[in-house]
Chains A and B, each alone.
Chain A
Amino acid sequence: MAAIKTQALTKRYQELVAVDALDLTVETGELFALLGVNGAGKTTTVKMLSCLTRPDSGNAWLDGKSIVTEPAEVKALIGVSPQETAVAPNLSVRENLALMCGVHGLNKELTAQKIAELTKRFALSAILGKKASKLSGGWQRRLSIAMALVSEPKILFLDEPTLGLDVLARSELWDTVRALKGKTTVVLTTHYMEEAEALSDRVGIMKDGRLLFVGTPAEIKEKAGKERFEDAFVAIVKGETK
Chain B
Amino acid sequence: MKLLTFSGRTAKEILRDPLNLAFGLGFPVILLLLLSAIQANIPVSLFEIANLTPGITVFGLSFMTLFSASLIAKDRESALLQRLYTTPLTALDFILGYILPILPIALAQCVICYLVAIILGLEVTVTIVFAVLFILPVALFYISLGLLCGSVMGVKQVGGICGALLTNLSAWLSGIWFDLELVGGAFQTVANLLPFVHAVELERAVLDGRFSDIGVHLAWVLGYAAVTTAIAVLFFLRQMKRQ
Contact = CB atoms under 8 A, between A and B. Distances in A.
Interface residues of B, number: 24
Contact of A88 (B1, B9, B17, B82): B9
B13 interface: yes
A52 B82 contact: yes
B13 A91 contact: yes
A52 B241 CA distance: 8
Interface string A95-122: 1001111111101000000000000000
A76 B88 contact: yes
A88 B87 CA distance: 15
A90 B86 contact: no
Interface in B191-237: none
Given A89-B78, A102-B6, A105-B1, A75 B87 contact: yes
A131 to B, nearest CB: 8
Given A83-B79, A86-B79, A104 B9 contact: no
A147 B86 CA distance: 12
Contacts of B8: 102
Contacts of B79: 82-86
A80 B4 contact: no
A105 B78 contact: no
A177 B5 CA distance: 28
Given A88-B13, A91-B12, A80 B5 contact: no
Interface in B24-50: none
B55 to A, nearest CB: 31
Given A86-B79, A91-B13, A104 B88 contact: yes
Given A91-B13, A105-B2, A100 B78 contact: no
Interface of A: 50-53, 72, 75-76, 78-91, 95, 98-105, 107, 144, 147-148, 151
Given A144-B83, A147-B83, 9 more contacts: A51-B85, A53-B243, A75-B86, A78-B86, A86-B82, A88-B9, A100-B87, A103-B89, A105-B88
11 contacts: A50-B86, A51-B85, A85-B79, A86-B82, A87-B78, A89-B78, A90-B12, A99-B9, A104-B88, A105-B88, A144-B83
